[in-house]
Structure 1
């Protein structure tokens, strides 16, 4: 069962499962604890995993002031402190990967390693155009299902559409008891458009794995490679045939890869391995 914790001025909804080394999972645009279901279920036998709803998503309220990536990174840091976690392996996807970058830069002592899925250091013109399209699609779609059917074309593979996976995800989103408002969705989106970590990522001094989907139309592999190139010693891998969220589409493969990475990170850090 999840619970709210006091994280700075916010009551942040969190869920924690499992035993072992600590892992913090940070979701993306409008995503909640539920987006990490396959990791919370598939890795809890090896790790203590903590996930949370970002400000303005799910069961965490949006403050009055406009959100910033820096503030959301501070939220993540306060969640760790509130739960008494001294340091954690941090994994984030999409917007959550940008929050993860800032968390490592602003609170380096809390971060043991980084997994950055579908990431970038600065939106290029193409990605800015896609986010702009989300703005007008949200306002013009005839209903929420139609908007999600469009939005998820940017997120999931044709395989996921054709198998019925996307339809089920949309059904679950529309049935969720704590939907994100359109206003908060756009506030969250806008926080990332002008945000940049280019030129600062060299300050990250923890083992880092950057993963990109080979057919991701948003966080294209070249954007992820630019992030990895700037972080000292970072690994960069392309998951061929995958889109924006392989941790949901192929969770067994994704979980196995990050487990291997976390084992290596722990081995280098303290000589400890976990099976």
Structure 2
């Protein structure tokens, strides 16, 4: 069962499962702990996993004041401290991977290793235009279902759309009782459009695995590779037949690859 923990000035909704080396999971745009369900179920026999709802998503409120990646990275650090974790393997996807980068830069002592799925150092013109399209789509779509059907075109593979996986995800989102407001989604998205870690990524000392989806039209492999090239000794891999969120589409493959990386890094002190 999840619970709110006091993290800085926020009550942040968290889910903790399993025993073993500590892992922090950071979600992307509007995503809640449920986005990591395949990892919470599939890795709990080997790891102590903590997932949480970012500010303005799910069961964590969006406070007044500026929203920035730096603030959300501080939230993640506060979650670790509130749960008594001195250092964790950190995994983030999409916007959550950018928060994870900033967490490693601002609170490096808390980060044992990094897994960055579908990431970038700075949005290029294409990705920035896509983000602005989502900003418009969330308001213009005639229904929540219509928004999800169109947004998910760029998130999941054609395979997942054709085999019913995406429809299942849509039904789960529609039934979820803790809806994110349009304004909160836009504020979250805006925090990433001009965020740039290019000059600072070489400062990251944590062992890092960068994963790209070969079919991802948004955080394309060349953007992910740019991150791997900037972080010393980072490992870069492309899941050729996957899109933006392979940890949901092929969770066993993703979990196995990440588990191997974490085992190679070791649990730390």
TM-score, L = length of structure 1: 0.97
Secondary structure at the counterpart of residue 28 of structure 1: coil
**Whole-angstrom CA distance in 2 between matches of 1:26 and 1:215:** 22
Secondary structure at the counterpart of residue 102 of structure 1: helix
Q: For residues 233-253 of structure 1, what are the alpha-carbon distances to aligned partners after superposition, in whole Å with 9 as ceiling and x for unaligned?
A: 000000011000000000000
Matched, 1:47 2:52: no
Q: How many residues align?
A: 269
Offset at residue 190 of structure 1 (A): 0.3
| Regions of 4+ moved over 6 Å | none
Q: For residues 33-75 of structure 1, what are the alpha-carbon distances to aligned partners after superposition, in whole Å with 9 as ceiling and x for unaligned?
A: 0000000000000000000000000000001113100000000
Matched, 1:250 2:255: no
**Whole-angstrom CA distance in 1 between matches of 2:106 and 2:251:** 30
Q: Which residue in 1 is equivalent to 2:64?
A: 64
**Structure 2: segments with no counterpart, 5+ residues:** none
**Structure 1: segments with no counterpart, 5+ residues:** 271-275
Matched, 1:110 2:110: yes
TM-score, L = length of structure 2: 0.99
**Whole-angstrom CA distance in 2 between matches of 1:218 and 1:266:** 32
Q: Which residue in 1 is equivalent to 2:173?
A: 173
Q: For residues 82-133 of structure 1, what are the alpha-carbon distances to aligned partners after superposition, in whole Å with 9 as ceiling and x for unaligned?
A: 0100000000000000000000000000000000000001000000111111
**Whole-angstrom CA distance in 2 between matches of 1:48 and 1:189:** 29
Offset at residue 135 of structure 1 (A): 1.6
**Whole-angstrom CA distance in 2 between matches of 1:107 and 1:216:** 30
Cα RMSD, aligned residues only: 0.8
**Whole-angstrom CA distance in 2 between matches of 1:219 and 1:72:** 20
